[in-house]
């Protein structure tokens, strides 16, 4: 796991510029650095040594004839199979690294190489012969890739946006059109970012730059295709076999591998399958939000040493600025802060950790997926009547049941934009001084409803979450919080072979009115106790709701809500009223408050302090 930076349009200052860009992401790879500046292209690399720890695995790496050079972030889990295939085709290898497999793979197969890869990756390849820069991002978007083309046609690219700040050709400007979308999603969705002109290369896409011309294209599309031909028990057996194989593939390393452990089935199943020596857990002094006792008990059960750490409110709040800086873009997922601390603690012991991201999207894990099976009689009321009821309910205080009437007053494609939908357009218009959204949330979710057209509601929601929520929130924080602590995070659920299986599991084997991840829990029960496999999903509980009713922490937020930055973007009277309602207990506004507060913390890091 590493990080890279690069740009086209070199001059006599390129080495200094490249070094400055690399230094911005040194946390991604503190073990070694490397540069390659040739043919008007500069490539810089920071290495965290995991495979082939010798200097032979160093990057940038060039082919024997020097015509192809690569920088690569990630891991290719089938690199040994691909090495054998390439050797049969006549290629010779100088290292045991997966980087060299990509180099020879590109020479042998070109863009078609992407169809053969199993792993998490982003890379940039400079092809001297064709004077082409070829870049790609993995199938699910586990690793990040950002790019920016300036007015001169020069391309900047890399693992983190912050590296661009060190380049003289980068113009730092806020993309204010992203703010309304963020207030709905709690993250920055889609290919656009909060920096004007900076884009994300989306999952399963490649990018090609040649003579100032940029081409971006999708090379693979995950799609659910439920199959009713197998029994629940057969699905459980297949999941069990697939996960055992995937976990072993994800453990390949020349350094020790550990595992994260919460109280949920995903990480518990992972830790038990992996047979690691160490698990890592964080919690809070407040028992309602603490999972450390469970983790220690479970670790003892599977014969593993658990390292548990309890986060204090003071250090949680003290690190918010640093965390938002590492995110590159604002993220209002309160669990991301806890994730920072568990990565910090794990990095003191190991260089690689396994984690459970992807299980919910693949196997139907979110509680909202139960909704189509609840109060089904209400959906039989004609839609115009439900719309009218929902419109009236939307004007009422959000007491129990009101949100249900609002949501079910709209068709799924209108109301569901992903696992979170914090604010509707009416609310945002009331809060924002400049409400001019370039896109609406439904503009981003619509393609995924088209992709899953004709399928059941749960499959449609999974498709939406797999492409939006998982990429924009779950994987963003997983990458940025692990790399902030120089730790490689591997996600065995998010594997092409696992998805190939999960995509065919019918909804009845995933979710019903009372349970989520039905087949996966059954598979897990073959390895871990039933009480753990059946445990209700908690997410990553964080006591922010309670803290925001504490005078000390509510005061921190109120101060931010009355800064010049807040005045620039928001109607601060409305912000303060929202906070007052929460403190008094009249409304539970903590998610909306936290979303705005995190934007202001992020904005302070990137546009006020720097």
Residues designated as active site:
2
3-state SS, 164-223, equals: HHHCCCCCCCECCCHHHHHHHHCCCCCCECCECCEEECCCCEEEEEECCEEEEEECCCCC
What does the DSSP 8-state code read for residue 159? S
CB 554 within 8 A of CB 521: no
Structure tokens at 344: 């910090």
| Closest to 336 measured CA to CA, from 191, 143, 228, 187 | 187
**Bridge partners for 525 per DSSP:** none
Phi-psi label, residue 21: left if phi above 0, alpha if psi -120 to 50, beta otherwise: alpha
Residues with Cβ within 8 Å of residue 443, at least 6 apart in sequence: none
Q: What are the residues facing 490 on neighbouring strands?
A: 354
Torsion angle, CA of 358/364/366/368, rounded to 10 degrees? 140
- Extract the tokens encoding 252: 């390949």
Taking 3-state DSSP, the helix, strand and coil percentages for the chain, each rounded to the nearest 5, stand at: 45, 15, 35
How are beta strands 257-260 and 352-354 bridged, if at all?
A: parallel
What lies within 8 Å, CB to CB, of 124 at 6+ separation is: 4, 6, 43, 70, 71, 133, 134, 135, 157
Q: List CB contacts of 574: < 8 A, sequence separation 6 or more.
A: 430, 431
Q: Residue 586 contacts by C-beta under 8 Å, 6 or more apart in sequence?
A: 397
Q: In which element (H, E) is residue 120 found? A: strand 119-127
- The phi and psi torsions of 176 (rounded to 5 degrees) equal -70, -20
The pair of structure tokens assigned to 350 is 């190991």
Q: Which 3-state string (H, E, C) describes 28-79?
A: HCECEEEEEEECCEEEEEEECCCCCCCHHHCCCEECCCCCEEEEEEEEECCH
What would the two tokens of residue 338 be? 């806890």
Q: How far is Cα 288 from Cα 286, in angstroms, rounded to an integer?
A: 5
């Amino acid at each position: 796991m590493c990080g890279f930076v690069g740009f086209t349009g070199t001059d006599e200052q390129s080495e200094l510029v490249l070094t400055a860009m690399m230094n911005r992401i040194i946390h991604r790879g503190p073990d070694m650095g490397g540069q390659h500046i040739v043919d008007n292209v500069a490539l810089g690399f920071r290495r965290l040594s995991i495979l082939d720890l010798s200097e032979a695995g160093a990057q940038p790496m060039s082919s024997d004839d020097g015509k192809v050079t690569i920088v690569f972030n990630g891991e290719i889990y089938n690199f040994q199979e691909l090495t054998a295939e390439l050797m049969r085709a006549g290629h010779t290898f100088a290292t045991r690294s997966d980087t060299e497999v990509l180099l020879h793979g590109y020479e042998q197969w070109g863009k078609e190489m992407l169809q053969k890869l199993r792993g998490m990756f982003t890379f940039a390849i400079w092809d001297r012969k064709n004077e082409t820069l070829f870049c790609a991002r993995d199938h699910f978007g586990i690793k990040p890739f950002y790019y920016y083309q300036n007015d001169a046609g020069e391309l900047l690219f890399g693992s983190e946006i912050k590296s661009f700040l060190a380049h003289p050709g980068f113009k730092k400007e806020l993309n204010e059109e992203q703010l309304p979308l963020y207030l709905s999603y709690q993250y920055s969705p889609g290919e656009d970012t909060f920096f004007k002109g900076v884009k994300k290369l989306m999952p399963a896409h490649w990018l090609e730059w040649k003579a100032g011309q940029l081409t971006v294209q999708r090379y693979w599309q995950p799609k659910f295709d439920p199959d009713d031909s197998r029994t629940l028990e057969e699905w459980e057996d297949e999941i069990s076999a697939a996960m055992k194989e995937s976990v072993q593939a994800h453990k390949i390393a020349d350094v020790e591998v550990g595992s994260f452990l919460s109280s949920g089935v995903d990480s518990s199943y992972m830790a038990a399958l992996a047979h690691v020596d160490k698990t890592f857990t964080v919690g809070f002094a407040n028992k309602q939000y603490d999972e450390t006792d469970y983790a220690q008990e479970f670790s003892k059960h599977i014969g593993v040493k658990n390292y548990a750490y309890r986060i204090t409110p003071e250090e949680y709040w003290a690190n918010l600025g640093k965390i938002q800086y590492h995110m590159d873009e604002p993220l209002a997922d309160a669990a991301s802060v806890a994730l920072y601390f568990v990565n910090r603690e794990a990095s003191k012991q190991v260089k690689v950790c396994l984690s459970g991201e992807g299980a919910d999207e693949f196997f139907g894990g979110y509680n909202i997926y139960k909704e189509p099976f609840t109060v089904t009689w209400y959906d039989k009321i004609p839609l115009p009547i439900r719309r009218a009821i929902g419109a009236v309910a939307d004007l009422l205080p959000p007491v129990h049941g009101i949100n249900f009437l609002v949501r079910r007053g709209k068709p799924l494609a209108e109301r569901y934009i992903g696992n979170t939908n914090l604010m509707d357009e009416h609310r945002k218009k009331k809060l924002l001084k400049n409400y001019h959204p370039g896109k609406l949330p439904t503009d981003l979710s619509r393609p995924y409803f088209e992709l899953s057209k004709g399928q059941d509601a749960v499959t449609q929601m999974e498709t939406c979450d797999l492409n939006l929520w998982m990429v924009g929130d779950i994987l963003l924080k997983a990458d940025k919080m692990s790399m902030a602590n120089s730790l490689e995070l591997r996600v065995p659920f998010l594997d092409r072979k696992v998805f190939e299986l999960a995509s065919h599991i019918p909804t009845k084997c995933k979710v019903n009115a009372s349970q989520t991840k039905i087949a996966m829990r059954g598979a897990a029960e073959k390895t871990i106790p039933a009480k753990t496999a059946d445990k209700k999903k908690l997410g990553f509980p964080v006591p922010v709701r309670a803290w925001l009713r504490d005078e000390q922490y509510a005061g921190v937020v109120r101060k931010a809500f009355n800064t010049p930055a807040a005045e620039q973007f928001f109607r601060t009277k409305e912000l303060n009223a929202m906070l007052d309602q929460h403190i008094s207990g009249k409304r539970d506004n903590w998610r909306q408050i936290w979303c705005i507060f995190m934007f202001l913390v992020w904005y302070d890091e990137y546009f006020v302090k720097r």
